[in-house]
Structure 1
Amino acid sequence: MKKILTAFLLLCFTIAFSQEKKPMYWHDIQEFKKQDQQNPPPKDAILLIGSSSFTKWTDVADYFPTKTIINRGFGGSRLTDLNHFAEDLLAPYQPKQIIIYCGENDFADNHQLKAQKVVKRYKAFYKKIRERFPDIEVDYISIKYSPSREKLWPQMKEANKRIAAFMQKEPNAEFIDVTKAMEDANGNVRKDIFVEDMLHFKPEGYQIWTKVMNPYMK
Structure 2
Amino acid sequence: MTKIGLLAILLFSFIWVQPHRFDNEIAAFETQDKQTPPPTNPILFTGSSSIRLWPDLQHYFPDKVVLNRGFGGSELSDVRHFADRVIIRYKPKQVVVYAGENDIASGKLTAQQTYANFVDLFQYVRQKLPNVPFVYIAIKLSPSRRQYWAVVNETNQLISDYIARQKNAAFVDIRPSMLGSDNQPLPSLFKADSLHMTDAGYQRWAPVLKPYLK
Calculate the TM-score normalised by the size of structure 1: 0.88
Matched, 1:131 2:121: no
Paired residues for 1:156-175 under 5 Å: 156-175=152-171
Matched, 1:178 2:174: yes
Check the 8 A contact 2:87/2:95 in 1, yes or no: no
Runs of 4+ in 1 over 3 A off after TM superposition: none
Structure 2 residue aligned with 1:87: 84
Using the alignment, how far apart are the partners of 1:38 and 1:91 within structure 2? 20
Paired residues for 1:7-46 under 5 Å: 21-46=18-43
Matched, 1:204 2:196: no
1:209 is paired with a residue of what secondary structure? helix
Structure 1 residue aligned with 2:103: 106
2:89 is paired with a residue of what secondary structure? coil
Structure 2 residue aligned with 1:78: 75
Using the alignment, how far apart are the partners of 2:187 and 2:155 within structure 1? 22
Contiguous gaps of at least 5 residues in structure 2: 1-13
Q: CA deviation at 1:61?
A: 0.9
1:80 is paired with a residue of what secondary structure? helix
Q: Which residue identity does 1:86 align to in structure 2? A: A
Contiguous gaps of at least 5 residues in structure 1: 1-16
Check the 8 A contact 2:44/2:69 in 1, yes or no: yes
Check the 8 A contact 2:190/2:198 in 1, yes or no: yes
Matched, 1:62 2:59: yes
Using the alignment, how far apart are the partners of 1:43 and 1:98 within structure 2? 14
Q: Aligned to 1:149, which of 131, 145, 158?
A: 145
Alignment RMSD, CA only?
Answer: 1.5
Matched, 1:48 2:66: no
Using the alignment, how far apart are the partners of 2:90 and 2:83 within structure 1? 12
Q: CA deviation at 1:80?
A: 1.4
Deviates more, 1:101-110 or 1:171-180: 101-110
Structure 1 residue aligned with 2:3: none
Structure 2 residue aligned with 1:116: 112
Calculate the TM-score normalised by the size of structure 2: 0.90
Q: CA deviation at 1:100?
A: 0.3
